[in-house]
Amino acid sequence: MFVVTADQRGSRTEGDRVPDVLARLRGATVLRPFERTVGDEVQAVVGHADTVVDVALALVRDGHWSVGVGAGAVREPLPASTREGAGPAFELARDAVERAKSAPTRVAVSGADAAAAAEAEAVLRLLADLVDRRTAPGWEVVDLLVGGATQAQAAERLGVTRQAVSQRARAAAWQHEHDVRPVAARLLGRAQGAP
């Protein structure tokens, strides 16, 4: 299993962003939902690595969070509340979020299999860097493509040429992100250690 812990950056100067992020993450497919744990921190228990990638990159895109992923066992049965959970994945997530606070891409992974966790972290940081560098016009195109639009439909909706959509998608590194996301998820799965 995975525990994702996100700690708000700059909360003393920017105000409390926890209610907004909890509302945005409400639809994520998780085992136990995101909750405020302490202060300006949120945490969830996640069952699938691809969901971890989605959530981590959404938090990076938001720009206000340090994200730690713990991959490993949790004490079962899971309690109703994320805050009441325990086990190695929770401890690993704590380690990861603390390291993420000083990482340029604000994301870190700690796992039962340390070597696999380091590889997962490297790939997730690469993806985070792509997301972090994406411009507003790039996001317009990526959001439409992720939503199922073709490049022709995206061009029509944005009032630009198909060539312009293609250029924006390339500049946004959308194809690279699309191709690398499954690699990050596989590595996260390995980071959990032997079943």
pLDDT at position 179 is 96
Q: Is residue 163 part of a domain?
A: no
Q: Which distant-in-sequence residues (6+ apart) come within 8 Å of 54 by Cβ? A: 28
Handedness of CA 87, 35, 132, 139 (dihedral sign): positive
Nearest to 68 by CA among 103, 39, 33: 103
Phi, psi of 189 (to 5 degrees): -60, -40
Task: Tell me the β-bridge partners of 45.
Answer: 3, 32
Residue with tokens 């390291």: 99
Which alpha helices (DSSP H) does the chain contain, by range?
11-14, 18-25, 49-62, 88-100, 114-133, 136-146, 151-158, 162-171, 174-191
Mean pLDDT of 17-27: 92
Report whether pLDDT(14) > 80.
no
Q: Which distant-in-sequence residues (6+ apart) come within 8 Å of 110 by Cβ? A: 68, 69, 70, 71, 92, 93, 95, 96, 99, 117
Residues 48, 53, 55, 59: what is their CA dihedral angle, to the nearest 10 degrees? 160
Q: Which residues span the domain enclosing 43? A: 2-134+173-191
Q: Dump pLDDT digits (tens) for 152-188.
A: 999 999 999 999 999 999 999 999 999 999 999 999 9
Q: Is residue 71 part of a domain?
A: yes
What is the value of pTM for the model shown?
Answer: 0.92
Lowest mean pLDDT among 11-20, 66-75, 125-134: 11-20
Q: Is residue 128 part of a domain?
A: yes
Nearest to 85 by CA among 28, 47, 130: 47
Q: What is the DSSP string of 8-49?
A: ETTHHHH---HHHHHHHHTTS--SEEEEE-STTEEEEEES-H
Q: Would you say 167 and 195 are in contact if contact means Cβ atoms under 8 Å apart?
A: no
Chain centroid to CA 15: how far? 22
Predicted confidence band at 38 (pLDDT cuts at 50, 70, 90)? confident
CATH code of the domain containing 100 = 3.30.70
Q: How many domains does the chain have?
A: 1
Rounded to the nearest 10 degrees, what angle do helices 18-25 and 49-62 cross at?
140
